[in-house]
Amino acid sequence: MHGLRADAMTHPFGEVYFKKLYPGIINGWHVHETLMLNYICLSGMMKLVLYDNREHSPTYRQFQEVYFGDDNYCLIHIPPGVANASKSMTAPHALFCNVASEPHDPSIKYRRISPHSGEIPYDWARKDF
């Protein structure tokens, strides 16, 4: 499995971090205003939902759902300003890696939106896997 090559980088390298996702638990929504995110699911299967809330974007207010991991290895680029949320589709968990364009800086705030608030109109009860 390949992750990310130096000659494919379209932004600076900041850091790599790993996170476990558990079935039934939604990770997100997160909106980073300056970070480019690059997600790779290393183990299990995960559902990633992107919501473009950038007013001048041609995909404004559109969703994109991606199921990836063991059955569909791929690298997902998430541009700054696009909301993202995810959850594991497999037990006991899914493990993903994020290659971010900037190192973590606690002084840089990003927006968190509850997946149950209705602010982003996505139905997490759907079982489309």
The one-digit pLDDT tens for each residue of the chain (129 residues) are: 666 667 766 777 889 999 999 999 999 999 999 899 999 999 999 999 999 999 999 999 999 999 999 999 999 999 999 999 999 999 999 999 999 988 988 887 789 999 999 999 999 887 665
Helix, strand and coil in the chain, % to nearest 5: 0, 45, 55
* Residue keyed to tokens 């790779």: 40
Identify the pLDDT of residue 94: 98
Identify the pLDDT of residue 109: 78
Identify the pLDDT of residue 56: 95
Identify the pLDDT of residue 107: 83
Identify the pLDDT of residue 55: 94
Identify the pLDDT of residue 127: 65
Domain boundaries along the sequence of the chain: 15-112
The topology under which CATH files domain 15-112 is Jelly Rolls (2.60.120)
Among 87, 89, 84, 100, smallest CA distance to 50 is for 84
DSSP single-letter state for residue 23: B
Identify the pLDDT of residue 108: 79
Q: Are 95 and 46 in contact (CB under 8 A)?
A: no
CA 32 to chain centre: 11
* Residue keyed to tokens 């991991």: 69
What are the C-alpha distances in Å from 49 to residues 11, 45, 119, 129?
22, 13, 14, 13
Identify the pLDDT of residue 57: 97
